[in-house]
Amino acid sequence: MFKKIVYSLEYLLGVKVLDYKEYRGICCSYFEAIVEYRNEVISIWLLRDQPWIVFTSHSSIFINHPPLTGAFHSYYPGYRILTAEELNEPLEILVNKDGLQIGKELIHHFSLYDMNYWQPKTVGDVLFNWWD
């Protein structure tokens, strides 16, 4: 579904899809589409387990992108667009009976073992990673 949405952005917004990656068999927590919009190369990442999307610069730095955010809000309102500010928040982990709470979100699929082993520093480090 994400691939179809990304290609629909060509028609809706005039982006050019440069690449689409699902990283099958690799321990990556997200799908990635690389697009060009007005001579700017942007990656769109979709979290595998949640309908959460982020935009990154070509060097994988989280960015806010108002035109793409607007397109997702207008045409695909079921997706949550995370901001660079949310993703760059220092990591605060709370453990409760329902799972791990990272920042303001309750996350079920990350373990304390992973947190201790990988030592993430920000919310974005936890959500979008290559942990095995």
**pLDDT at position 126:** 77
d(CA 42, CA 123): 20
* Whole-prediction pTM: 0.81
pLDDT exceeds 80 at position 74: yes
Residue 81: pLDDT band (50, 70, 90) is very high
Which residues does 86 contact at the CB level (< 8 Å), separation at least 6?
A: 103, 123, 124
d(CA 17, CA 8): 10
93 and 115 in contact (C-beta within 8 Å)? yes
Domain spans in the chain, listed from the N-terminal domain onward:
2-85, 89-123
